[in-house]
Amino acid sequence: MTLSIFNRIGQMLAVLCVQVLVLNHIHLWGYATPLLCFAFVALAPLGANRIQEMVMSFVLGLVVDIFSTTPGVCAGAMVLASFVQHYLFVLMAPKDSEPGLKPCAKELGRFHFIVYLSLILALGFIVYFALDCFSFCRSSDLFLALACSYVSSMFVTLVFVGLYGRF
């Protein structure tokens, strides 16, 4: 249990470093900024303490917000993604899975794992952009930014989980 917490903290720090030091400086076509923090949410194991996961996601999101000068935006999206992640994982995981099952392509199947990741990212990005833009008056720009960020973040997330040996 303690090992699992340290493991999660390690993942959190790794995501935070990559996001703050590298990805925050990338603005593809002036729109897309890849977000890796949702990968941290997606890597939570089955049966993990949900309150602990939500608090850690909130803290991670808040730190990312501080470095991005968007206070509360990433934190809100991360908390909701973390909350929904449990249900998605239960839905995608094989029946009779033991608690502690880690989300990876080997356990879920490559297709299901990609669907699982894409759903978490989609939900996280919708909330993120909803809080960031706060209105739908420029919906075409909003949709373009969301799509670019989503695609680039999906790519970065797949690379990250691949490096972590989950893909």
Which positions lie near another protein, rule CB under 8 A?
50-51, 54-55, 58, 61-62, 65, 70-73, 75-76, 79-80, 83, 131, 134-135
Q: Sign (positive/negative) of CA torsion 167, 33, 129, 44?
A: positive
Closest CA to 35 of 44, 46, 45, 27: 27
4 CB-contact burial (10 Å; exposed 0-12 / middle 13-18 / buried 19+): middle
Distance separating alpha carbons of residues 120 and 41, to the nearest angstrom: 8
Q: Which of 11, 82 has the CB closer to another protein?
A: 82
Q: Which of 48, 92 has the CB closer to another protein?
A: 48
Residue 94's SS3 state is coil
Q: Which of 83, 167 has the CB closer to another protein?
A: 83
Least distance between another protein and beta carbon 58 (Å)? 5
Least distance between another protein and beta carbon 74 (Å)? 9
CB 77 within 8 A of CB 61: yes
Least distance between another protein and beta carbon 158 (Å)? 27
Q: Which of 132, 166 has the CB closer to another protein?
A: 132
Least distance between another protein and beta carbon 86 (Å)? 8
